[in-house]
């Protein structure tokens, strides 16, 4: 999706009949093979503060709980192009090279730079000039030249329109569509501009290394996600108190039940 496409959405879909949210955004998770090494990289890349726990896992904290990014250490290394990646605002590509990222060859000219983090995971860097940063400050935007940098989350898709509409229904909003790409913009409750889905020819072959955590108000929320087409991969057990799920294209996400919170629809209406 080009920068112009972000600003000039076309072919918007009508609102779905049922716009009540099933779940709300809670946080992001990034899988890595070395959490102690990667937490400082991602903290600097996103403008967050890193905390490494005694168990070796790490988390990044920001201005709100929704800014939290978990850095989960996993045994599996990155072996293929990541199906989910992050886009970030930047003063320059060089600052990310100094953090340990490297520039990847671009297949065609585009308005951003594709890079790889120190473990090889892709991210896209959008260089912003002084006027852009000044505008972001005066309009009260999330991004800060010396602070928070996450721009958007991008997901490769077999059918971007279909899966964007599915997630929009889960979150109680509308998706916008154009040729080859769709987006949820703004992304409700999330500390980034939008969630983008882009058509790619390659099928999903491995577990995603970036996934969202969601919150529902009761177990009925999990049941409703299943009714809408999600799959339960792992239920709460002696080791975990959350539900691991996959959307209709197999993208993993985690659901937490928070019975003390108001239902998403009630929260949106308040």
Query: Which single residue is written with the structure tokens 């090494």?
Result: 37
For residues 9 and 32, what is the distance between their CA atoms, to the nearest angstrom?
Answer: 34
Task: Write down the pLDDT at residue 18.
Answer: 56
pTM attached to this predicted model: 0.88
What lies within 8 Å, CB to CB, of 129 at 6+ separation is: none
pLDDT tier for residue 218 given thresholds of 50, 70 and 90: very high
Task: Write down the pLDDT at residue 140.
Answer: 81
- 3-11+21-269 to CATH, choices 3.65.10.10, 3.10.180.10, 3.90.180.10, 3.40.50.300: 3.10.180.10
Q: 193-216 burial string, b = 16+ CB within 10 Å, else e? A: bbbbbeeeeeebeeebbbbbbbbb
SS3 40: helix
Mean pLDDT of the 44-68 span: 94
Terminal CA-to-CA distance of the chain, rounded, Å? Answer: 34
For residues 234 and 245, what is the distance between their CA atoms, to the nearest angstrom?
Answer: 7
- pLDDT per residue as tens digits for the range 175-196: 999 999 999 999 999 999 999 9
């Amino acid at each position: 999706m080009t920068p112009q496409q972000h600003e000039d959405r076309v072919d918007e879909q009508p609102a779905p009949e049922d716009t009540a949210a099933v779940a709300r955004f809670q946080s992001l998770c990034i899988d890595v093979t070395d959490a102690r090494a990667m937490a400082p990289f991602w903290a600097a890349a996103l403008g967050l503060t890193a905390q490494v726990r005694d168990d070796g896992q790490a988390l990044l904290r920001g201005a709100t709980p929704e800014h939290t990014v978990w850095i989960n250490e996993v045994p599996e290394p990155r072996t293929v192009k990541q199906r989910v990646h992050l886009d970030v605002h930047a003063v320059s590509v060089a600052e990310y090279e100094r953090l340990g990222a490297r520039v990847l060859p671009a297949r065609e000219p585009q308005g951003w730079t594709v890079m790889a983090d120190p473990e090889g995971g892709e991210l896209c860097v959008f260089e912003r000039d002084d006027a852009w940063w000044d505008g972001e400050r005066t309009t009260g935007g999330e991004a800060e030249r010396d602070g928070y940098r996450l721009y958007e989350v991008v997901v490769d898709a077999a059918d971007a329109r279909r899966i964007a509409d599915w997630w929009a229904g889960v979150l109680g909003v509308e998706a916008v569509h154009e040729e080859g790409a769709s987006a949820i913009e703004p992304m409700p409750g999330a500390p980034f501009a939008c969630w983008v889905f882009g058509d790619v020819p390659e099928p999903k072959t491995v577990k995603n290394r970036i996934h969202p955590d969601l919150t529902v108000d009761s177990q009925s929320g999990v049941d409703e996600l299943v009714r809408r087409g999600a799959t339960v991969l792992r239920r709460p057990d002696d080791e975990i108190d959350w539900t691991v799920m996959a959307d209709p294209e197999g993208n993993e996400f985690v659901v937490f039940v928070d019975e003390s919170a108001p239902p998403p629809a009630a929260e949106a209406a308040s």
